[in-house]
């Protein structure tokens, strides 16, 4: 199944280890708990090795509404699904427009 998908959205954890079977160019959209940017190290590394795309989402504030750099792994994280979907759509549109530009540039197309 991992080989057939083009976009995987998931919470940081062992379940994302299936990314090693995804096709090159597939997008991994990783959701992390507040303050836990360093947790994505393994998946960022895999993305480079397996030629995947990586996007990372971390809430701007913790569940108590505070901002600090303390990784709160065990805390619950509230995710607004609509915001995530909107962000993924923007990311895909941006990648498509870059791909089109690269293609036009490679064939010498001028508008």
pLDDT digits (tens, 9 = 90+) for 79-111: 788 888 888 888 778 777 777 776 777 766 655
- pLDDT at residue 15 above 70? yes
**List of residues 6+ apart from 84 with CB closer than 8 A:** 9, 29, 31, 57
Secondary structure class of 59 (helix, strand, coil) = coil
What is the structure's pLDDT at 39? 74
Each residue of 60-82: pLDDT tens digit? 766 666 666 777 666 677 778 88
Nearest to 79 by CA among 57, 55, 46: 57
């Amino acid at each position: 199944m991992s080989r057939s998908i083009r976009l995987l959205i998931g919470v940081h954890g062992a379940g994302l280890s299936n990314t090693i079977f995804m096709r090159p160019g597939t997008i991994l959209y990783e959701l992390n708990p507040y303050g836990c940017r360093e947790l994505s190290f393994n998946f960022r590394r895999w993305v480079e090795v397996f030629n995947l795309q990586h996007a990372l989402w971390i809430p701007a504030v913790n569940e108590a509404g505070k901002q600090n750099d303390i990784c709160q792994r065990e805390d619950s994280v509230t995710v607004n699904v609509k915001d995530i979907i909107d962000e993924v759509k923007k990311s895909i549109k941006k990648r498509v427009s870059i791909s089109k530009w690269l293609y036009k540039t490679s064939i010498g197309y001028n508008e």
